Amino acid sequence: MPRYDLLIKQATLIDPAGGQVDVVRDIGITDDRIETVGEEIFEEEAATVIDASEVYVSPGWIDLHVHVWDGVADLAIPGDPNCLGKGVTTAYDAGSAGADTYPGFQKYVIDVSATRFKAFLHISSQGQLTKGIGELEDLRYADVDRAIRMCEEYREDIVGIKIRMSRNIVGENGREGLKRAREVCETTGLPLMLHPNASPMSLAEMLNEMRSGDVMTHCFHKSDTGVIDTDGKVRPEAVKATQEDGILFDVGHGAGSFAFEVAEAAMSQSLLPGTISSDLHKYNVEGPVYSLALTMSKFLHLGLSLENVIEKVTAAPAQAMGVLGEIGTIREGGCADLTLFKVKEEEVELRDAIGGIRTGDRTIEHVSTVRGGRLYAPGVFD
């Protein structure tokens, strides 16, 4: 009987957390675990063999910001086709569900999906049901006690609290909504994910309410509460947040939350994103986002190395969520989550969320995915 269920042969690894970059290894998988990473494992030892000699293999990609409460949340799209089907083995839904709707999200998304989904619970108990009415325009939805109870009941899968701070979403309730979200975080010990675009509070005021381990998503959006001031300079409070306060700046591309000009200005002044995420939802899945892979390609164009880009969708989000080792790296005993991909040398038009266009010369292309030891080919969920 074969020792391994699955053998990945001649894989060129890109595993920043494991210190394995551009090294060729064989990976032997049994059940849902990586059993062996070595220079040679014989094909006769495995039930199924995958020739990876012409692709890169990284830890399974992790998308820290998606919306997959399909059919309920206004923004949401089907999870598996747009996550696991595109190379993402673990994804974090960013507030599609609140305390009133979360049990359904658990039952109909987390419990039945092939992708590993976790959730940031919206401070609004309704979550994101509609784009016509801001979810915090009525503060009665910001029920602290109910949110705390939901976090305690589903402590394995609710990993944080989400708040969107845009004026058209919070109305006159921005400060109080953020205060209540902070109270839930303090009580549960969970991090806050904050959407800062066009907020009634300044960036400095919002960052002052954040703590080490919290996530500022949409870090390269263009509005008056962004990281770049009117003179094109990085705001000092943004530098302090990332360098001293332990706040994670996450890309969260989305349909209106990523601008090349902001990213270029920030990165030229050494303000880099901590994680790269897509904010994939129904208003951007057909463009300009399409996938996490294309979002990653935009950061190749912006000057990050392939190793840096992979680190920001593997080790960095895993570290932020406290699961590095189980996922986020390729190691013996770790979960067998892997993404196989190519880097294509070709001219490509890259679009941001506000109409900006750049011409890139490389794109990251997903080839196939291993999730929990099972191989998934592209199109399997079509």
Q: CATH number for the domain including 109?
A: 3.20.20.140
Can you tell me whether residue 319 is helix, strand or coil?
Answer: helix
DSSP-derived secondary structure for 91-109: EEEEEEEETTTHHHHIIII
User: What are the tens digits of pLDDT across the range 188-227?
Assistant: 999 999 999 999 999 999 999 999 999 999 999 999 999 9
- Asked if residue 325 belongs to a domain, the reply is no
pLDDT at 381: 82
Q: How confident is the model at residue 271 (pLDDT cuts 50, 70, 90)?
A: very high
Spatial CA neighbour of 119 closest among 161, 78, 77, 89: 161
Q: Tell me, what amino acid is at 102?
A: Y
- Asked if residue 47 belongs to a domain, the reply is no
Q: Residue 10 and residue 108: Cα distance in Å, rounded?
A: 38
Spatial CA neighbour of 291 closest among 347, 365, 358, 195: 365
Question: With contact defined as beta carbons under 8 Å apart, do 319 and 328 qualify?
Answer: yes
**Mean pLDDT within 304-326:** 98
pLDDT at 197: 98
- With 90 as the cut, is the pLDDT of residue 132 above it? no
Question: With contact defined as beta carbons under 8 Å apart, do 221 and 256 qualify?
Answer: yes
- Asked if residue 46 belongs to a domain, the reply is no
Q: How confident is the model at residue 324 (pLDDT cuts 50, 70, 90)?
A: very high
Question: With contact defined as beta carbons under 8 Å apart, do 343 and 364 qualify?
Answer: yes
Q: CA neighbours within 13 Å on the CB side: how many for 30?
A: 10
pLDDT at 1: 81
Give the predicted TM-score (pTM) of the model: 0.98
User: What are the tens digits of pLDDT across the range 82-115?
Assistant: 999 999 999 999 999 999 999 999 999 999 999 9
- With 80 as the cut, is the pLDDT of residue 379 above it? no
pLDDT at 293: 98
- Asked if residue 171 belongs to a domain, the reply is yes
- Asked if residue 79 belongs to a domain, the reply is yes
Ranges of H-type helices in 166-248:
167-170, 174-188, 203-208, 236-243
- Asked if residue 10 belongs to a domain, the reply is no
User: How many separate domains does the chain show?
Assistant: 1
- Asked if residue 333 belongs to a domain, the reply is no
State the chain's mean pLDDT as an integer: 97
- Asked if residue 270 belongs to a domain, the reply is yes
% of residues, the chain, pLDDT over 70: 100
Could you tell me the residue range of the domain that residue 234 belongs to? 61-320
Residue 178, CA distances (Å) to 162, 184, 196, 339 in order: 10, 10, 11, 37
What are the structure tokens assigned to 295, written together? 């979002």
- With 90 as the cut, is the pLDDT of residue 142 above it? yes
Q: How confident is the model at residue 179 (pLDDT cuts 50, 70, 90)?
A: very high
Q: Residue 246 and residue 210: Cα distance in Å, rounded?
A: 9
